[in-house]
Structure 1
């Protein structure tokens, strides 16, 4: 079996390393792969290493790291490797510049604002620095049909540096519906010597016709020890706080790193204060102060409520302490759990949290208003009043 030396930079996923090692040894790759797994599991990092070997001048041996092709991938400027991802369309009335290199070659290239290009370039730079890193745009991203048409036109051209081409499409579930139907034609009948790697966090949102034409590979959660080793090499975290971050991230390295960047334990502590006030029956309960931050913090806020309700339910139903997410505030949670009238209330609280979060993101509601509404409903729930 081919020794995939570049996969030494990939954490975990040994089953996939073995699979691609055999595939490269036999020179028998599928034309299209769908990498499925939670955010931050390393789908992009893995796809990049597969593309590196596929385009290397020494193929099918592992990417040598020294040839022109490998050097171009390292710089993020390989003309035969295109990485496509959803992006926000800022100032849609302005259509000045292409945001992907292949659009320069398309006859009717997709054009967007300079502000959009800046966001896209920042995404590329962050991913080049750390392929596991999760980058959140302030506005909702998607992959429009114009970009996919440009990509299809590009794939018809001959390779410029390597003998082959590779395309990586991130977060396929965010591709516009019309764009997905157009892209289906590429997946069905790709140009010769072209490798297509798609990634998704939710394969249920992908066209079944696209999924059926790919080899679907699942990315497993990483071991806690692996994530702890990576994070402690970068950050100075208390061991209990580190355990909390890893468990909250559900063993996703990218998500754990994001939680550290956002200091999610501070947001969680705000939420603990709110729930404590609600359980003690205080008449006036202000929303978490973190709400003024908005953006990705909103997602962290709703997650923090779910983490606390989940742990309280776990304690009220006799769960083992070592299964707690918020293991760094275990004593505090045990005191709060005593104040909960019955576990069923916590189940309803988790359902309510998920419903309010979905409405907030789907309808693009005001965060302050959503949290005030949410807290009022929680107050009704904990006081025994029926909520609708």
Structure 2
């Protein structure tokens, strides 16, 4: 692959081609944008363009350097990644980076260090990295990838050039999924909307058959007896594996809560449609094939109740990033939904 193969990031490609050709590169970058949008892949392609023996400003994909970078075997490209089942990048990971930063390149003119998920460095790791950024080493490039800039310290941000990756349009994701998967059209259309502009997430969702899981979740929510407070326990047993790490449970629960969020968002859209049908353009639904069922449910809730439920779900998703008991979070959100739903029934 080369720069030309990237989807919907033309502004970034143009910038780096020009910077490489003119030798006007920054010593440190932050690649930011949602998960699965191609930040780490672009970091690899940047490295190939920098090290390529046959091309300048892009990669040839066939020279020795390009092949080794693709295979993660080039001695002057260093990846710092989150350890499996760990929540944070720790200081030892950054100290290891510092050690290699001080050394000369093994066989090339440059060294490149790529810190994946840099927004998950703990405070000690951040302080350690700051010292490295404050004293840049010649011919050394440090790239941080981050879903969000907010967790990254301002002192680190100010010492890096920030590169913002944009979400990939739904129709482009849909076209890519059609090329890769032999899947049902409705499934591909739903995934292309649900992935929120992330091709990486879309591919993962299709591989995990998440469309079927969404249908199961929506069926349970829409047919839920709101007096059944055992639903939270059934939910945990069904979707959260007992052998999963805490971080794996968090990520699974985020996706499931987003399914529930989109269900109530659809209810809200149907409610608004019914009120403003003559004056407003039809708003698209995530669960478009369920519109008839949504129409049957929408009269049980006021617009204010739906908005309150949406807010409660968003708050629960936010709380997942804290060190809170996941089972209690699940029990709390379903209790809140049950109370709000049953108030109108």
| Superposition TM-score, scaled by structure 1 size | 0.78
* Cα contact 1:168–1:197 (8 A) shared by 2: yes
- For 2:335, the equivalent position in structure 1 comes to 376
Structure 1 residues 29-178: aligned runs within 5 Å: 29-58=25-54, 60-88=56-84, 139-178=85-124
Q: Which sits farther off after the overlay, 349-358 or 282-291?
A: 282-291
User: In the superposition, relative to structure 1, how do residues 301 and 177 fare at CA in structure 2: closer, same or farther (>3 Å)?
Assistant: same
**Unaligned stretches of 5+ residues in structure 1:** 89-138
**Unaligned stretches of 5+ residues in structure 2:** 274-279
Q: Distance in 2 between matches of 1:321 and 1:236?
A: 30
User: In the superposition, relative to structure 1, how do residues 86 and 164 fare at CA in structure 2: closer, same or farther (>3 Å)?
Assistant: same
Structure 1 residues 175-324: aligned runs within 5 Å: 175-278=121-224, 283=228, 286=231, 287-288=234-235, 290-293=238-241, 295=249, 296-318=251-273, 321-324=282-285
- For 1:346, the equivalent position in structure 2 comes to 306
Q: Distance in 2 between matches of 1:59 and 1:192?
A: 23
Q: SS in structure 1 opposite 2:66? A: helix
Deviations 1:125-169 (A, max 9, x none): xxxxxxxxxxxxxx3432111111111111111111211111111
* Cα contact 1:33–1:214 (8 A) shared by 2: yes
Q: Distance in 1 between matches of 2:180 and 2:338?
A: 41
1:326 matched to 2:287 = yes
Q: SS in structure 1 opposite 2:150? A: helix
- For 1:114, the equivalent position in structure 2 comes to none
Q: Distance in 2 between matches of 1:71 and 1:355?
A: 45
Q: Distance in 2 between matches of 1:209 and 1:173?
A: 13
Deviations 1:264-288 (A, max 9, x none): 222222322232234x656566343
User: How far has the Cα of 1:33 moved from its partner?
Assistant: 1.2
User: How far has the Cα of 1:36 moved from its partner?
Assistant: 0.9
User: How far has the Cα of 1:262 moved from its partner?
Assistant: 2.4
* Cα contact 2:268–2:307 (8 A) shared by 1: yes
1:23 matched to 2:19 = yes
User: In the superposition, relative to structure 1, how do residues 149 and 308 fare at CA in structure 2: closer, same or farther (>3 Å)?
Assistant: same
User: How far has the Cα of 1:347 moved from its partner?
Assistant: 1.1
User: In the superposition, relative to structure 1, how do residues 223 and 359 fare at CA in structure 2: closer, same or farther (>3 Å)?
Assistant: closer
The alignment of Structure 1 onto Structure 2 pairs a total of residues equal to 328
* Cα contact 1:168–1:198 (8 A) shared by 2: yes
User: How far has the Cα of 1:201 moved from its partner?
Assistant: 0.8
| Superposition TM-score, scaled by structure 2 size | 0.87
Q: Which sits farther off after the overlay, 315-324 or 35-44?
A: 315-324
User: In the superposition, relative to structure 1, how do residues 67 and 349 fare at CA in structure 2: closer, same or farther (>3 Å)?
Assistant: same
Stretches of 4+ aligned residues off by more than 6 angstroms = none
Deviations 1:214-235 (A, max 9, x none): 1111111112222112211221
